[in-house]
Chain A
Amino acid sequence: MNVHDHIVFVIDDDVRIQEALEELLASHGIHAVVFGSAGEYIDAEKPDVASCLVLDVELPDINGLDLQRQIAEGDHPPIVFITGHGDIPSSVSAIKQGAVDFLTKPFSDGDLMTAVRAAIAQDRQQRSQRADLELLRQRYARLTPREREVMPLVVSGLLNKQAAAELGISEVTLQIHRRNVMQKMVAASLADLVRIAERLEMPVTHSRRTGGSSVE
């Protein structure tokens, strides 16, 4: 694990806590960036590496839980909440919203580090998945319109003959398109293409059975 391939963001209005967490994380070899408020964090430019957000519930501008809801829409680092006086409803709400942990001050070194590491690992995984998906999307973008018509029919399991009839083209032409799709999407097999289509959340428009019965 490289020092520079991950980072921890700390948001707490108490400078003492900021300093202490920064120091503690540093002693664990983790780089931390601290903020005094949610606004500062939102406005800041953040490096594109695996990260974790250590968030105080009581903030001067908005409540930490509200911030969690606010950023839930987009991609954001997993959150570890810290609070002066934790109450059960708040912690339940935070965990439900996807927080990694909810720590009550004062917390132990172990608890914090466990949570932070888990969060970073989670983020790293999420980031890798997002990267894969992005690659697939880029490949899909290179398909011609006809190839984009062919791909859902193929992954739906239609025979070449059926797919060609569906599109009103010859089977030979369809086979050419199919081969291009397989090449462009870097699919090793039809099964691989089906998995790729799922990742892309491509809708399955035809089933072989219904398609078959209509032809027969």
Chain B
Amino acid sequence: MTTALGSAAEILRAAKIVEGVVGNAWATDADGRFIYVTPDALTFLNLTLDDLNTPPEEGSLGWKRVIHPEDYEAAAATWRHSLRSGEPYNVEHRMLLANGAYGWGRSTGQPLHDGLGRILGWYGTVIDAGVSTSADNRPSSQTTDAPVHDAASNTPPLNLVHPHDRPAAEQAMARAFWHGIPQIVSYRRRQADGSYRWAELRAEPGYAVSVDVDPMVSKPGERWATSDTLGETVEAVRGARAVEGLFGAAFAFDPSGTFTYATPIAQTSIALTLEDLNEPLSVNSFLDGGDLGWKRSVHPDDYEDVAAALRRCLRTGEQFHHEWRVLRTSGQWVWHRFAVRPTHDTQGRITGWYGVGIDIDVYKKTEAALRERERELSQLIDMVPSHLWRLSPDGEPTFFNKRMADFLGMDAADMASPGMSRLDRLIATVHPDDAAEFGNALNRSLASGERFAMRYRLRRADGVYHWMSSRAEPLRNEEDRIVQWYGLCHDIDDQVHAEDALRESERSLRQLIETLPALIYCAAPDGKPIYRSQQLREFLGFNLEDKDEGARSRLVGTLDAIIHPDDLAVVKERYGHSLESGEPYALQHRLRRSDGEYRWVETRTAAMRNAEGAIVQWNGVCFDIEDQVRAQEELRLSQESLARASQAASLAELSASIAHEVNQPLAAVVANSHACQRWLNADPPNLERAQKTVERITRDANSAADVVNRIRALFRQSAEARTGASITGVVAEAREVLTEEALRRGARMDVAVESGLPTVRLDRVQIQQVLVNLIRNGLDAMNSLAGPRIVSIRARRSEEMVRIEIADRGRGVEFPERIFEPFFTTKGDGMGMGLAICRSIVESHGGRLWAEKNEPQGAKFIFTLPIEPDATP
């Protein structure tokens, strides 16, 4: 018989054992009334024992206060079910913690029976499920969606499992229970006829798994057993069994480290019996540094630490907590966490140890994986070539990645500074010119939840500002409240500078184009105008789009508007040809200025091609050459008139000059003659003075003769200027000089030059003068002629000479020889030098010049020029 007090003590002891291993435990009486809860747990939940037993309202349970409302009904139902049925209690739920937040937890409970199978009370524990498992691994939906008692009914009763497979099945269920990960294991299931069939067990988390396996049920011959003598470790074994009820793998050993109990599963899973565990592997006892058989189950890398720690605990009586890899029967190393506590007798002497080993492989692996993932993630975050930052909903920086921290020279934590919010501190790192806008934009985003995006200059640790492109987006929770802001900040300094440089170069290029004193334009490959420089726009007085009208294309519209009508056809034809062929285009034409005046321009256009050689654009330049054209025209005209004037004037001027030269000595001669005469006539005659004057007369007369000689010499001297030339060209030139004059005088020139005339060595200018002079004489001779005024010019070969005849139809020559004498003239205004000079020129060329009577009327002047000896064909 057990008294109520005794039963309470029994339950309490079980709870304490659990508490010793797990950290918290609870105990209730058979009716579910709490008699013990680990004080720390109460503090943690901000509850007293009475609170747990005092229903907040009729019909509810005391712990409703700390269970999430959504989870309470299921948990309460499960609990009531367990109280009624005596089935173990196991439910996952959210618990209200002292800090006001809910945390996931798993409560498990186990009844304690007396010898008659009556329930003395319940003991159990709460495991914080949310702590060491990630959200992904936490089985939330199954537990809430599928009530535990329902799920439990699907669990195959262990008596249906072949005894050999039970440990595996049990373990799978325990693992599922602990890790929240479904476990799958194959086992032989007993059929109704008593035979076994292979089946698969899926152990879902949340199943209540009873590990209360009676060792006596196990089959003789199985390689696991309980020590024959428990000795002083009875208490420890009992502890082990209590824990085993909850965790499935427990053991006990005596103060020397010799195992006296091990949960069957423990033995089978590592394939070591108690004997095997305790088998001495060396002479020394364990405490003295010797090794026991269980060493085989410990990973070699872990063993020394484990053994040393255990020996220390055995000596000191400290609780033992350790994690190591256990060699599973399957040959796998599996991480386990071991917790071992001593039991004491009344004198406080250690009587034995009991403990539990929990498979934490998944944790370990998960943890490692998580750690690896976190490492990778943090590496990723730090390695991303960008600044990453996180702000609280209030804008307080809570995280900078390494790059950003390095850049700023401070971490998010360093942002805290007295008298300044972290946000202000963050704003202070922005360039003063950008800070206000940055602050405004950020605050606006923080207030509105809108995405933040901005470019600004951020101060680097060394004080240099860098251009940044920054963006931030809020992360919202299920209630759509902003939890935090994630930001990315990209250093675009080089880009900005490059952009600036590019923009600057673009600007200066554009300015260059705009200011170049030329009209510049660009056109699409089809010729459509797409750009005009400032100067061209001003010149034309309209913009690109202004000619986009009607059915005509912009190109046609523009051309029609700006090209002189006389030039339009050729411009269109040539431009069209260029567009088609890709050949450059260059043309001079008249372009309409905005004031309506057409100006001569020279337009040059060439294609700009891409890497593939396809035309991407036409670029053109257009120079206003109006002034140039006009100047050229004027120059040409003045040159022509000058040529005519010089041809006309040279002989006249020469004549005047000669006249002066001759007149001077003549005047002196005359004066001296008169003086001489007077001296001779004087009374008495002054012979001396007369003599003197006569000398002067002789001298001055000679001087006059010299003038004439010098004129002849003048023409002889230019012999060096002579070159071999075709008389045909010289005749043509002379004719050209006089064309206009002949036209004016109503006369025409009839030129007939024999083909294939040999070249003549001549001074081109002089012979041209001879020709012009003779032709003009001919024209002069026909001034008063009524009939057709024709000067015929003939050139032909005559023996070793080229013979040129200039014939007119005038009155003819009265004195064919005298006309060649200097100062002889038949003209009213003539000086009488022209023919003299002409003859002088021709003779200096080795030819002859004479006059004949022309038939039927007029005069004919003939001159010959010797053929160049080596030029004879």
Contact = CB atoms under 8 A, between A and B. Distances in A.
A14 B659 CA distance: 15
Nearest to A28: B678
Contact of B670 (A14, A26, A84, A108): A108
B683 to A, nearest CB: 13
Given A108-B670, A109-B674, A16 B659 contact: no
A153 B677 CA distance: 63
A16 B663 contact: no
A139 interface: no
Interface stretch (B175-183, B365-373, B688-696, B720-728): B688-696
A108 B668 contact: no
A84 B659 contact: yes
Interface stretch (A17-25, A44-52, A199-207): A17-25
B479 to A, nearest CB: 114
B671 interface: yes
Nearest to B673: A109
A106 B668 CA distance: 8
Nearest to B677: A109
A58 B699 CA distance: 23
A149 to B, nearest CB: 59
A109 B671 contact: yes
Interface string B364-401: 00000000000000000000000000000000000000
Contact of A26 (B656, B666, B675, B700): B675
A17 B692 contact: no
A27 B664 contact: no
B172 to A, nearest CB: 139
Interface string B640-678: 000000000000000010011001111111111011011
B703 interface: yes
A105 B667 contact: yes
Nearest to B666: A106
A85 interface: yes
A16 B700 contact: yes
Interface in B112-127: none
Contact of A108 (B664, B674, B678): B674
Nearest to A15: B668
Given A16-B664, A27-B682, A106 B672 contact: no
B14 to A, nearest CB: 150
Interface string A145-180: 000000000000000000000000000000000000
Contact of B675 (A24, A84, A85): A24
B671 A23 contact: yes
B656 A20 contact: no
Given A16-B668, A106-B663, A85 B678 contact: no
Contact of B664 (A26, A84, A107): A84
Contact of B660 (A16, A27, A82, A84): A84
B671 A21 contact: yes
A27 B692 CA distance: 12
Given A105-B663, A105-B666, A108-B674, A23 B703 contact: no
Given A27-B678, A27-B682, A20 B689 contact: no
A25 to B, nearest CB: 8
Interface residues of B, number: 27
Say what secondary structure dominates the interface of chain B.
Answer: helix
Nearest to B669: A106
A27 B677 CA distance: 9
A106 B664 CA distance: 8
Interface in B169-222: none
Contact of B663 (A24, A85, A108, A109): A85
Given A23-B692, A27-B689, A85-B656, A17 B667 contact: yes
Contacts of B675: 20, 23-24, 26-27, 109
A20 B682 contact: no
B663 A20 contact: no
A126 B846 CA distance: 65
- Name the residue among A19, A24, A27 with the largest chain B CB count within 10 angstroms: A27
Contacts of B671: 17, 20-21, 23-24, 106-107, 109, 112
B659 A85 contact: yes
Contact of B696 (A14, A23, A58, A109): A23
A23 B679 CA distance: 10
A: interface residue count bin: 20 to 34
- Name the residue among B672, B679, B696, B703 with the largest chain A CB count within 10 angstroms: B672
A191 B667 CA distance: 54
A37 to B, nearest CB: 16
Contacts of A23: 671-672, 675, 689, 692-693, 696
Contacts, number: 82
Nearest to A14: B664
B660 A85 contact: yes
Contacts of B670: 20, 105-108
Interface string B517-540: 000000000000000000000000
B130 to A, nearest CB: 125
A26 B666 CA distance: 20
A215 B672 CA distance: 75
Contacts of A82: 667
A17 B679 contact: no
Contact of A17 (B656, B664, B699): B664
Contacts of B699: 16
Interface in B688-724: 689, 692-693, 696, 699-700, 703
A16 B696 contact: yes
A106 B679 CA distance: 20
A113 to B, nearest CB: 9
Contacts of B666: 105-106
Contacts of A109: 671, 674-675, 677-678
B668 A84 contact: no
Nearest to B664: A14
A108 B673 CA distance: 10
Contact of A84 (B663, B677, B686, B696): B663
Interface in B619-659: 656, 659
B431 to A, nearest CB: 81
A82 B670 CA distance: 14
A23 B700 CA distance: 14
A184 to B, nearest CB: 51
B696 A24 contact: no
A187 B656 CA distance: 61
A105 B696 contact: no
Nearest to B682: A27
Contacts of B656: 85
Contacts of B664: 14, 16-17, 84, 105
A5 B290 CA distance: 171
Contacts of B674: 24, 27, 108-109
A106 B659 CA distance: 11
Contacts of B659: 84-85
Contacts of B692: 23
A20 B678 contact: no
- Name the residue among B665, B682, B686, B692 with the largest chain A CB count within 10 angstroms: B665
Nearest to A24: B675
A29 to B, nearest CB: 10
Contacts of A26: 675, 689
B667 A19 contact: no
B655 to A, nearest CB: 10
6 contacts: A16-B699, A26-B675, A27-B679, A84-B659, A105-B667, A109-B675
Given A16-B696, A20-B668, 17 more contacts: A16-B664, A16-B665, A16-B699, A16-B703, A20-B693, A23-B675, A24-B674, A26-B689, A84-B667, A85-B659, A85-B660, A106-B663, A106-B666, A106-B671, A107-B671, A109-B674, A112-B671
6 A-B pairs closest in CB distance: A109-B674, A105-B667, A20-B671, A27-B678, A106-B670, A16-B668
Interface of A: 14, 16-17, 19-21, 23-24, 26-28, 58, 82, 84-85, 105-109, 112
Interface of B: 656, 659-660, 663-672, 674-675, 677-679, 682, 686, 689, 692-693, 696, 699-700, 703
